[in-house]
Structure 1
Amino acid sequence: MGMRVHHLNAATLCPASARLVNGRGGLFERARLVCHVLVVETSTGLLLVDTGLGRDDLATPSRLGRTWLRQVSPRLDQAEPVVAQLARIGATANDVRAIVLTHLDLDHAGGIADFPRATIHVHTRELEAASQGLGTRSNVRYVHDQWRHGPIWSTFEDGNDRWFGFEGVRTLGETKDEVLLVPLRGHSTGHTGVALRSCDRWLLHAGDGYFFHGQVETPPHAPRILRAFQRRSDVDTAARAANQERLRALVESHEDEVTLFCAHDALEFDRLRGDLQTQPE
């Protein structure tokens, strides 16, 4: 039996040039990126994987920083925060018991304040880096106001398990369902993928382990502008590239067992958003 999984876009980002970012569209047309969030119905309540932007970010967008706002031009749509979309699945903010963050970049952690009762799971090194302002572009990527409310943190270290060749994997202890934390270092200090068992296959939310669907195709490819932005954001480009290659190999060898997707690719999101993973009757 599997968990029911809902795919939500919790912020639309519109940087310049669809052709150079999305790989298609006009050169002067705005690109479209998403903030792909999962709402998972587990045996102990709702679990979120990432949160995108939250209501407070939309109310005070200046806190996101002029550099980030200029680079990605977020739509700032009041209907997009996860908390505003829960009614569609018959839920409220109080039903969210846990949130797993792939990392603490502002476009992944912005919504945690909308769920003050939820336990926030994040890698120990990621929380340390964000809290202390460590790593590449830390003054741009981390917004301390997003967790100034005092979240209920639950940090984790790498585990001892293996999963499809990935090492350091551990089980999330918040639920009895199959939720795995998969180390995918490189983009940030504690970057972690989240694998869920849904019906007869696995879903792997790779966060920012890659940015573009073509990067995990064979042969890999991606628009030049997106590759440059990715390198500029990395804390360890070699580690990110190695994990990205392992993700590509995962798709090549286990496509019938694992559905892989990242946080921002709109094509991947569009393919999955109508795919409501349900438990067998």
Structure 2
Amino acid sequence: MKMHFLSGGRLRMRQRTYYPGADRDALFELPVSCTLLRHAQGNVLFDSGCHPGVVDDAMGHWGALAARMEPLHAATDNVVAQLALAGVAADDIDAVICSHLHTDHCGCNRFFPRASVIVHAAELAAARADADAANGYYAADWDTGQSFDELTGARDVFGDGALTLLPLPGHSPGMTVAHVVLPRDGAFVLASDAVPVAVNLDQRFAPRNSWDMELTMAGFDEIARLQADGAQVIYGHDDAQWQALRKGAEWYE
């Protein structure tokens, strides 16, 4: 299996959301990471990033959320365009795994009409219940006509241990991370917003936008256990780590 890290956009947000001790008005830039997994049984995308339309009209797409999450990327900096770097087209994607259904993680789902969407049942229920989008759920992003393959527990996607989905509620009710095992480069945890930036895990600082702080902290413990077993944790929005990763046409295997 080959693993490609692809850009799903770039945002500016308040630093204090993720970093302890940050000034109230301090801002920081963060990547939105997506991951393409190319397996003999099919091509899977873990998270689809921001919708391309937010570049030109963030307010029109996100409403009031645009005041807290400012897009910085170019119109071509989205996972659909990025797939071409890995020699893959949108129609080559067999499944989109949604770590959760917040808009910056499922914004391009609609561009994969033949793919099934794997998402935790609790996350889907939360998105359906949140009609006012106050918690980042936008039906235009997640309710796009694909069939939903609902998780209710851990799942070995290919049946060979290469890709295992692990529900870790906390950031959101159905937050799910991926444990990836590659023959050459070893194990990885695709943490998404279960651990947005390294300091959250290192200092056990639960982000201020967590749905449940206690569950978020429990998730940190589980990811730290996987890290201690040798897995490299890929944070959802850590810019220093993002700059150091192989991306696009380069891969891990």
TM-score by length of 2: 0.87
Deviation digits for residues 30-82 of structure 1 (CA, Å, limit 9, x no counterpart):
52101111011111332100010123444653344343211121114212111
Structure 1 residues 44 and 185: CA distance shift in structure 2, 3 A: same
Q: What CA distance in whole angstroms lies between the structure 2 residues aligned with 1:265 and 1:176?
A: 30
Task: Select the structure that is richer in strand.
Answer: 2
Q: CA deviation at 1:22?
A: 7.0
Q: 3-state DSSP class of the match of 1:185?
A: coil
Deviation (angstroms), 1:245 = 2.8
Match status 1:270 vs 2:243: yes
How many matched pairs? 250
Highest CA radius of gyration, 1 or 2?
1
Tell me the residue number matched to 2:5: 7
**Equivalent-residue separation in structure 1 for 2:196 and 2:116 (angstroms):** 27
Which ranges of structure 1 fall in alignment gaps of 5 or more residues? 159-168
**Residue in structure 1 matched with residue 197 of structure 2 by the alignment:** 212
* Within-5 A mapping of 1:1-281: 3-16=1-14, 30-58=27-55, 60-133=57-130, 138-158=133-153, 169-172=154-157, 178-200=162-184, 201-217=186-202, 220=203, 230-231=207-208, 233-251=209-227, 253-254=228-229, 257-274=230-247, 276-278=251-253
Task: State TM-score, norm by structure 1.
Answer: 0.79
CA RMSD of aligned residues (A): 2.9
Post-superposition offset of 1:209: 1.0
CA distance in 2 between counterparts of 1:203 and 1:248 reads 12
User: In the aligned structure 2, how far is the partner of 1:260 from the partner of 1:111?
Assistant: 24
**8 A Cα contact 1:121 1:154, kept in partner:** yes
Judging by fraction of residues, say which structure has more helix: 1
- Structure 2 Cα separation of the partners of residues 63 and 120 of structure 1: 25
Percent identity, please. 23
Deviation by residue 1:87-120 (Cα, 9 ceiling, x = unmatched): 1121111111111111001110101011111111
